[in-house]
Amino acid sequence: MNRSIVSICILLILTSLPLNAQFETRQAGFRMGYTSGIFYQVSQEAGNAEVAFNGLLSFNDRGVQFTGLKVIYETSIGDISPNLVFAWGYGGHVGFIYSDHVKFMGEDYYFHGDRFCPLIGMDGWVAAEYRITDIPLNISLNVKPYVELAFPSFLRVTPWDFAVSISYVF
């Protein structure tokens, strides 16, 4: 319930920003995968590529994480479709989880009750994004591998965080 309220409030704030048809460089949307959440992205032209800064608020393991990414959109994959673009990027995240156990190298380690575990990590980003030109909508298939250090001293490596993202472009 709390996640829904937070998601709705943030989405209302992002969509209430003034819209201007000349600046189609902002996106707001949902990421649906292992680290699901809502995101806001601002992009700009940079030479032959497009550079974007993405902020993702995700909910995972009864906790909250904020991820900041720098995403580089390469040239479109014109052989398949002119609206299909390839993206890659990097960034980091901070947040916390509540857990009564951790998994490390195939083993489960249990705590005595739930424990508040702050965390910090590094993220990668690889995506194929289809931009629908008739309506301001982007659909992306992406993977966000990450490494994170959570306290009390455990390291989690997740190489395959696949997701589908849908965003409104304004």
d(CA 101, CA 116): 11
Q: Which domain holds residue 121?
A: 2-169
If one counts every other C-beta atom within 10 angstroms of the C-beta of residue 148, the result is 20
Average pLDDT across the chain, whole number: 83
pTM, 2 dp = 0.77
pLDDT above 90 covers a percentage of the chain that reads: 48
For residue 75, the domain's CATH number is 2.40.160.20
CA-to-CA separations, 22 to 49, 101, 124, 140, 149, in angstroms, rounded:
19, 50, 31, 23, 42
Nearest Cα neighbor of 70 from 121, 125, 146, 25 is 125
What is the count of structural domains for the chain? 1
pLDDT at 22 over 60: no
At residue 97, the pLDDT reads: 87
What would the pLDDT profile of 46-66 be if each residue is shown by its tens digit?
877 889 999 999 987 788 999
